[in-house]
Amino acid sequence: MIMMNTKKKAAGRRNKVFFNKGRQVDYNALNEARDLLNIYFPLKKDMLIEYLHLFNDKYNGLYPKHLRALAELSKLSMSEIYEVASFYAHFHILSDDTEIAPDITIKVCDSITCAMHDAEKLYHNVKLKYKNFRVEKAPCMGRCNFAPVVEVNHNHILKANNSKISNAIRDKNLSYKNDPFINFKQYISSGGYQLFNDISAGKISFDNMIEVFSKSGLRGLGGAGFPAYKKWQFVKSYKGPRLMCINADEGEPGTFKDRYYLNKDPHRFLEGTLVAARIVEAEKCYIYIRDEYYGLIKLIEDQISILEEKNIISEGYLEIRRGAGAYICGEESALIESVEGKRGLPRNRPPYVAEVGLFGRPTLVHNVETVYWIREIFEKGGDWFSSFGRNGRKGLRTYSVSGFVKNPGIVLTDAGTTVNQLINEHCGGMLDGHKFKGYLPGGASGGILPASLGNIPLDFDTLQEYDCFIGSAAVVVLSDKVDMKDIGLNLMRFFEDESCGQCTPCRNGTSMAVKLMSEKAWNVKLLTNLSKTMNKASICGLGQAAPNPLQSIIKHFKKDIT
């Protein structure tokens, strides 16, 4: 409703009205909002994050007048819009309608690998130099093998330094760049979409698929490692209609494998997605891609249009949803909340999302890499995949290796490869002048191990006895040049920033831990008690795993903290 400004004394019980009640909508802002949202009417609540992106992109931030106009047009309350907008780091809520929003945003990655490559110094230089731009620290951008990384608008600057940043700004080099990829024609010419067609035509049954994939031992590659075929059986066992979500949120610091596969062979990923969706008879599939991979959102969007044009899928069957800068949205129930247009607050379980997921329906959630393997495993057989493996383990693993090795990058090799083997056989050894000191076997969440434990096979189930886990197989190699207290603090700060704030052990625990870890000497007893509470009482994996690196440092790097 449009309210008129009136200072007239109101009738009845009410006294003076000094300001307009309700939301006051500015006519111009309403028209601007109508133009922007033009193709989206009637507006849908679950699309709220997409709408906010439109405003944020066009006006370099969210003006109060546009939020009010959006509330008016969507019939959502201002509080609902504000709570969603303020949850996601990529939305810049502007304080008033007259504020001039800078049209250049520079983000300096301050997560673990970039921090080890002097990101802090770079950030301060940039902040000092570009006073008229928005300069921010940001978490891992999924390009850790090129640390330090800086993003200027949508342009990711790799191995960034002052001159590369100023050249990009001078040349207005502000857009994304994708790497070359296998296109639709090339993919089709190698037998692409045959498996999907065969399944659609009923030539391959659910039981055939279960047989092949139980042999293969393919497990969820997003971190939890749940056997893929079992998840299909669970989801299928619940009454339809069912849905599917792809998790391309890849926010675990040190991880960049999903970005690599999405870019390299997008149709292999899309075919795997469609096959998995068909297996569980999903009515529709949402592909949730983190905003840091903006270029890949565009690439996958284009490839989906090709599939629609060729009538391989019906229009809208695959729908991309753009993340907005929240690591927690990689947690599957938080991801589902986000697809529903809400804050990414993880749900309490049970029920699990396989039973009650997106819009209350049974939902299959898969990581990008899990579905990426589907075609090849089916064509070559389950035994093919499980024939790989080293040190007693089975299957293939994609390790994202970063840190102080000569050749960091993606290493696709046998599951169970040790970090010593990764460093020496695949990554060219340690960087000159650096001595191997320890490693993160599974990104920020998976704990830290010392070099003396460099011969443990890296796989699901092999690291529990060391209170660590492989997660998304992000291996960050540390050297004698790092200060373990700085490493621990960096990781805890990440969790503090990314905690959704829903539960006290995680919200307060992470910030209390940051305070205690900033002290010159760590209070080990207090930190250990705090870790136990966070681990036992947090709702989701973020709070449960946040103390892992801290506890590893206390256990394995005692000398460094006293």
Q: Give me the residue label for tokens 């493996």.
A: 389
Binding mask 490-509 for ligand SF4 (x = CB under 6 A): ---------xxxxx--xx--
Which part of the chain contacts ligand SF4 (CB under 6 A), choosing from 102-110, 400-408, 477-485, 540-548?
A: 540-548
- Determine the residue type at 292: E
Q: Which does 543 bind (CB under 5 to 8 A by kind): ligand FMN, ligand SF4, ligand FES, none?
A: ligand SF4
Q: By CB under 6 A, is residue 540 in contact with ligand SF4? A: yes
Residue 473 or 503 with smaller CB distance to ligand SF4: 503
CB 18 within 8 A of CB 7: yes
Look at residues 250, 244, 366, 345 and name the one whose alpha carbon lies nearest to residue 297: 250
Q: By CB under 6 A, is residue 150 in contact with ligand FES? A: no
Between CA 110 and CA 139 the distance in angstroms is 6
Residue 114 or 542 with smaller CB distance to ligand FES: 114
Between CA 415 and CA 17 the distance in angstroms is 69
Binding mask 236-255 for ligand FES (x = CB under 6 A): -----------------x--
Residue 139 or 395 with smaller CB distance to ligand FES: 139
Restricted to residues 262-321, the positions that interact with ligand SF4 (CB under 6 A) are none
Q: Which two tokens stand for residue 148?
A: 């330090």
Q: Which two tokens stand for residue 413?
A: 């090799």
Restricted to residues 342-401, the positions that interact with ligand SF4 (CB under 6 A) are 346
Evaluated on CA atoms 375, 339, 157, 441, the torsion sign reads negative
What residues pair up with 401 in beta bridges, in sequence order?
409, 475
Q: Which two tokens stand for residue 320?
A: 């991309």
Beta strand 282-289 with 242-248 is parallel
Q: Which does 500 bind (CB under 5 to 8 A by kind): ligand SF4, ligand FMN, ligand FES, none?
A: ligand SF4
Which part of the chain contacts ligand SF4 (CB under 6 A), choosing from 109-117, 166-174, 379-387, 532-540?
A: 532-540
Contacts (Cβ under 8 Å, ≥6 apart) of 14? none
Q: Which does 243 bind (CB under 5 to 8 A by kind): ligand SF4, ligand FES, ligand FMN, none?
A: none
CB of 40 to ligand FMN, least distance (A): 27
Q: By CB under 6 A, is residue 446 in contact with ligand FES? A: no
Q: By CB under 6 A, is residue 109 in contact with ligand FES? A: yes
Residues lying near ligand FMN in the complex (CB under 6 A): 220-224, 226, 247, 249-252, 328, 330-332, 365-367, 370, 540-542
Q: Which does 222 bind (CB under 5 to 8 A by kind): ligand FMN, ligand SF4, ligand FES, none?
A: ligand FMN
The one among 112, 228, 318, 401 contacting ligand FES by CB under 6 A: 112
Between CA 78 and CA 455 the distance in angstroms is 55
Q: By CB under 6 A, is residue 147 in contact with ligand FES? A: yes
Q: Which does 410 bind (CB under 5 to 8 A by kind): ligand FES, ligand SF4, ligand FMN, none?
A: none
CB of 330 to ligand FES, least distance (A): 14
Residue 225 or 501 with smaller CB distance to ligand SF4: 501
CB of 533 to ligand SF4, least distance (A): 12
Return the SS3 of 199.
helix
Q: Which does 143 bind (CB under 5 to 8 A by kind): ligand FMN, ligand SF4, ligand FES, none?
A: ligand FES
CB of 348 to ligand FES, least distance (A): 31
Measured in degrees and rounded to the nearest 5, phi and psi for residue 289 equal -115, 135
Between CA 291 and CA 305 the distance in angstroms is 20
Q: Which two tokens stand for residue 390?
A: 């080293």
Contacts (Cβ under 8 Å, ≥6 apart) of 83? 343
Q: By CB under 6 A, is residue 328 in contact with ligand SF4? A: yes
Residue 255 or 338 with smaller CB distance to ligand FES: 255
The one among 370, 538, 551, 552 contacting ligand SF4 by CB under 6 A: 538
Q: By CB under 6 A, is residue 140 in contact with ligand FES? A: yes
Residue 338 or 462 with smaller CB distance to ligand FMN: 338
Q: Which does 149 bind (CB under 5 to 8 A by kind): ligand FMN, ligand SF4, ligand FES, none?
A: ligand FES
Look at residues 497, 460, 272 and name the one whose alpha carbon lies nearest to residue 373: 272
Q: Tell me the residue length of the chain.
A: 562
Residue 110 or 496 with smaller CB distance to ligand SF4: 496
What residues pair up with 93 in beta bridges, in sequence order?
62
Write the CA distances from 501 to 46, 157, 305, 346, 373, integer angstroms. Answer: 22, 32, 38, 10, 35
Residue 279 or 534 with smaller CB distance to ligand SF4: 534
CB of 358 to ligand FMN, least distance (A): 13
The one among 60, 111, 417, 445 contacting ligand FES by CB under 6 A: 111
Crossing angle between the packed helical segments 504-517 and 524-537, to the nearest 10 degrees: 160
Long-range contacts of the stretch 170-179 (C-beta < 8 A, 24+) = 174/104, 176/294, 176/295, 176/298, 177/295, 178/263, 178/295, 178/296, 178/298, 178/299, 179/263, 179/264
**DSSP per position, 338-369:** HHTTS--PPPPSSSPTTTS-GGGS-EEEEEHH
What residues pair up with 320 in beta bridges, in sequence order?
287
CB 469 within 8 A of CB 442: yes
CB of 502 to ligand SF4, least distance (A): 4
Residue 153 or 502 with smaller CB distance to ligand SF4: 502
> CA Rg, the chain, in Å?
25
Q: By CB under 6 A, is residue 503 in contact with ligand FES? A: no
- Residue 381, classified by CB atoms within 10 Å of its CB into exposed (0-12), middle (13-18) or buried (19+), is middle
Q: Count CB-CB contacts under 10 A for residue 489.
A: 21
Residue 375 or 556 with smaller CB distance to ligand FMN: 375
Interface residues with ligand SF4 (CB under 6 A) are 328, 346, 499-503, 506-507, 538-540, 542-543
Chain contacts with ligand FES (rule: CB under 6 A): 109, 111-114, 140-141, 143-144, 147, 149, 253
